[in-house]
């Protein structure tokens, strides 16, 4: 651990082992003191903090090795000029997120850092910057605000508004499904955020509980524009054609098929699937692997949410079912229509836009049934007419025979 600026690595290591409960602050401080005394004695082979903690049986070498990736991530965030990193608040496959202080304005922000393993991957880098640029063009109280995006050394970073609170997913994990009234309010605020994004020409493409944050003041914030794309970006659309971008539990059928011309209706589907999960406690479609789940989005009928949670109103069920129609033409024709229905159901009124979609769908079904019925009646009439023909000929034949017999009798009488 002595290579590559050991003091920087030692500082990060010391903080991590205390945070993880692998050592106490006092134990780390004792090793730091040993390290200082060793340097004062001009030791030709100075020990790193990690070496000293292993020598003192505080942690093992294997534990240090497992911490190396996180140490590298932490060190990279400390190289971002103008920001003081305070703590790591999250990590995923695509990024590490830290809480930091923006020194120029003395405010708390969140910094998302692209992992080092992706620093030479042009696809991941392009998507990372696309998220920052998309978010920067949106200014809405229900969207996490972008502040800065850039590169420091080999570190790609995206600075955004710090949201103190929890995600919808975290809330459900700890407390179970939402009450209908609360879920409607969150969905309404997300719909308003989407309406703003759609009006600016962007689609999110990854609406899900983990990307919806609720502040301590109860304000909903739509986050993670990592898959956001301008609808007009034909080049990006063609490059992505045939690929399923999105999260399997909430992805729309047209995204699964990798269609070229996806639009705002993929977000309506994602919000419908998210709202379904919020009020039932279950994802709309489940399965042992993503392929099975996505196949169900394409082919399986949706179990109505009020069949799972019988306390739900008819109205919210109608909204969800229209939002999650497999045929995007049968979904809401604008985000404003969805907002209108969410507001109506929140007031205890019927969702008129959803019912209009149901009526149109029922009408087309009725038309097909009417045509089928008329065809059936015509067929039955034809069958009746055909079945009547033999009887008619038999009657005529009978009359002819009777006439001949009468003629014969008359002739014999003469």
Residue 296, domain CATH: 1.10.510.10
In a domain, 27, yes or no: yes
135 and 54 in a common domain: no
In a domain, 403, yes or no: no
Q: What is the pLDDT of residue 394?
A: 62
Q: What is the pLDDT of residue 259?
A: 81
End of a domain among 77, 105, 139?
Answer: 77
330 and 182 in a common domain: yes
Q: What is the pLDDT of residue 16?
A: 85
> What does DSSP assign to residue 326?
S
- Answer yes or no: are the C-beta atoms of 265 and 253 closer than 8 Å: no
Q: Are strands 83-91 and 107-113 parallel, antiparallel or unpaired?
A: unpaired
Q: What is the pLDDT of residue 5?
A: 42
96 and 71 in a common domain: no
Residues 6+ apart with CB under 8 A from 379: none
Helices 180-199 and 314-323, interaxial angle, to 10°?
30
Q: What is the pLDDT of residue 246?
A: 62
pTM: predicted TM-score of the whole model, two decimal places: 0.69
Ranges in the chain, pLDDT < 70? 1-8, 41-46, 72-79, 92-94, 225-246, 360-414
45 and 62 in a common domain: yes
Longest CA–CA span in the chain (Å) reads: 160
Separation of alpha carbons 237 and 26, rounded Å: 56
Query: Which residues are paired to 107 by β-bridges?
Result: 102
Active site residue 206: yes
Which of 10, 73, 206, 341 is flagged as catalytic? 206
For residue 70, give its domain range: 1-77
- The CATH number linked to 123 is 3.30.200.20
CA atoms within 13 A on the CB side of 298: 13
138 and 20 in a common domain: no
In a domain, 57, yes or no: yes
156 and 13 in a common domain: no
Q: What is the pLDDT of residue 171?
A: 96
In a domain, 384, yes or no: no
DSSP 54-114: HHTTSS-HHHHHHHHHHHHHHHHHTTSTTEEEEEEEEE-SS-EEEEEEETTTTEEEEEEE-
Q: What is the pLDDT of residue 317?
A: 96
3 and 102 in a common domain: no
Short-list 116, 70, 63, CA closest to 94: 116
Give CA separation, 155 vs 77, 150, 240, in Å: 7, 8, 26
Q: What is the pLDDT of residue 398?
A: 66
Total number of domains constituting the chain: 3
Nearest-Å Rg of the Cα atoms of the chain is: 35
16 and 110 in a common domain: no
End of a domain among 99, 128, 162?
Answer: 162
In a domain, 192, yes or no: yes
- Answer yes or no: are the C-beta atoms of 138 and 129 closer than 8 Å: no
291 and 157 in a common domain: no
In a domain, 414, yes or no: no
Q: What is the pLDDT of residue 43?
A: 62
183 and 133 in a common domain: no
In a domain, 116, yes or no: yes
Separation of alpha carbons 246 and 399, rounded Å: 80
């Amino acid at each position: 651990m002595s290579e590559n600026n050991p003091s920087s690595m030692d500082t990060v290591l010391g903080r991590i082992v205390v945070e993880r409960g692998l050592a106490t602050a006092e134990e780390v401080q004792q090793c730091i003191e040993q390290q200082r005394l060793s340097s004062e004695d001009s030791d030709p082979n100075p020990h790193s903090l990690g070496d000293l903690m292993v020598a003192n049986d505080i942690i093992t070498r294997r534990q240090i090795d497992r911490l190396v990736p996180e140490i590298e991530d932490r060190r990279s965030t400390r190289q971002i000029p103008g920001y003081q990193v305070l703590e790591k608040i999250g990590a995923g496959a695509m990024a590490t997120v830290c809480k930091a202080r923006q020194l120029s304005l003395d405010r708390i922000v969140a910094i998302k850092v692209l992992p080092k393993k992706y620093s030479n991957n042009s696809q991941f880098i392009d998507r990372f910057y696309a998220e920052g640029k998309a978010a920067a063009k949106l200014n809405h109280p229900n969207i996490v605000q972008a502040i800065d995006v850039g590169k420091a050394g080999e570190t790609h970073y995206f600075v955004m508004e710090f949201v103190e609170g929890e995600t919808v997913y975290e809330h459900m994990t700890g407390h179970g499904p939402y009450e209908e009234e609360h879920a409607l309010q969150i969905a309404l605020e997300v719909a308003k955020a989407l309406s703003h994004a759609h009006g600016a020409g962007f689609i999110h493409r990854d609406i899900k509980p983990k990307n919806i944050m609720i502040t301590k003041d109860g304000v909903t914030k739509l986050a993670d524009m990592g898959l956001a794309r301008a609808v007009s970006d034909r080049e990006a659309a063609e490059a992505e054609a045939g690929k399923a971008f999105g999260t399997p539990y909430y992805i729309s059928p047209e995204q699964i098929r990798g269609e070229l011309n996806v639009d705002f209706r993929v977000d309506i589907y994602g919000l419908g699937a998210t709202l379904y999960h919020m009020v039932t406690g279950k994802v709309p479609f489940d399965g042992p692997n993503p392929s099975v789940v996505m196949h169900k989005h394409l082919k399986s009928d949706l179990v109505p949410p009020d069949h799972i949670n019988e306390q739900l109103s008819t109205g919210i069920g109608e909204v969800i079912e229209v939002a999650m129609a497999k045929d995007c033409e049968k979904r809401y024709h604008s985000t404003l229509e969805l907002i209108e229905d969410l507001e109506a159901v929140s007031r205890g009124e019927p969702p008129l836009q959803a019912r209009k979609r149901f009526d149109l769908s029922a009408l087309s079904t009725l038309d097909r049934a009417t045509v089928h019925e008329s065809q059936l009646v015509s067929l039955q009439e034809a069958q009746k007419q055909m079945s009547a023909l033999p009887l008619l000929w038999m009657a005529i034949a009978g009359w002819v025979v009777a006439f001949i017999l009468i003629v014969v009798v008359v002739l014999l009488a003469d």
